[in-house]
Amino acid sequence: MAPNVLHVVGARPNFMKVAPVIAALKRSVSVKQMLVHTGQHYDESLSKYFFEDLGLPKPDLDLGVGSAPHGIQTGRVMIALEPILERHRPDWILTVGDVNSTLAAAIVASKMGIRIAHVEAGLRSRNWEMPEEINRVLTDRLSDALFTTEHSAHENLRCEGIDEKRIHFTGNVMIDTLDRFRPRAARLKVHRRLGLDQGRYVLATLHRPRNVDDPVRLAAVLRALPQVEYECDCPVVLPVHPRTARSIRRYGLDAELNGIQVLEPLRYLEFLSLMDDAGAVLTDSGGIQEETTVLGVPCVTLRPDTERPITLTDGTNRLFDGNLNELADVVSEAFREPRCPSRPELWDGKAADRIADVILGQLATAPLQVDKETVVAPGL
């Protein structure tokens, strides 16, 4: 029987990370691959079109778990996924990123004795108010092969007692996808369609609970955006994430969007086009910090911390967690900086090939025996 790798995706960033790995594993005709979409991102504009844009195969299964509080959503994925793993018994389950689907897949696979590969392992913000931090740490504890994007992630795992043999520094699959599709995105010239001048607008994204779930905080952030327009002397463009849109409606904050250019959620290639041609980006996303680093677009991250410190030391990113009345000055300063593209080590478009090499190498050998009982270092 051909060896089997089962991939689990659930949210937009997962699609961009798994696509190059699936493509890299295809070079081995002896490996059977399955793609399971949990349906965690149930909005069609954030799910369906990403498969089309990224050239991903149609999912073999769609679990359709939809939106729910964290515990319910994680539980739904586990309940739906367990009989699938029981039926197909893959040699590896590959899970990516830090969403609820990531952790749910790791828990089910671990209890069934199925080897787990975690792409983008070891990233740590050390902010336990972020659900993603909990998902990262627990998924890494359960995983058999941990693929890291930067040296700080390797050090985090080592300090947590993870066996060095399980850790593989392979680079950043997000950049594999960016490199592959950037030429196509550039041809779209989305900024022209929107009546914008290249390099003369600020692209904003907001979706983290800290910024959009509290009505006072969300109102203050939205009120700061026209001030950003004024200080930068250019438009602010805000594609509104479904979570953010729900909060705006729930709290009656629609009037706070006056004065900025509001868009529906964009397809991946459209967003990449708009980001590449922006003068600066204001975000609370994780992956965008990495993408702007490679593109050279100045980035202001509206968070007190980041799990991707290399974007601060080697990239274009800076954090902002101060008085929102001062946000416009910080974005304006970033906006006036020259573009400065950066390529951290192994962000070379070949990360997925290195991941495939590890997985294919271990498929050719006896199952990896690892000790998952190591005590986590104090204070982590």
Backbone angles phi, psi at 128, to 5 degrees: -80, 0
Look up 37 and say whether it is catalytic. no
Taking Cα atoms as reference points, which of 58, 151, 146, 68 lies closest to residue 106?
146
239 forms bridges with which residues in the sheet? 263
CA 346 to chain centre: 18
Beta-sheet strand order (sheet of 317-319): 261-263, 236-239, 202-204, 280-283, 299-301, 317-319
Dihedral angle sign, alpha carbons of residues 251, 252, 254, 259: negative
Taking Cα atoms as reference points, which of 168, 84, 114 lies closest to residue 3?
114
End-to-end CA distance of the chain: 42
CA gap 297, 272 in Å, rounded: 12
Q: What is the helix (H) or strand (E) element at residue 184, kind and residue range?
A: helix 173-188
CA gap 225, 356 in Å, rounded: 43
Catalytic residue among 7, 118, 154, 207: 207
Q: Which residues are catalytic?
A: 207
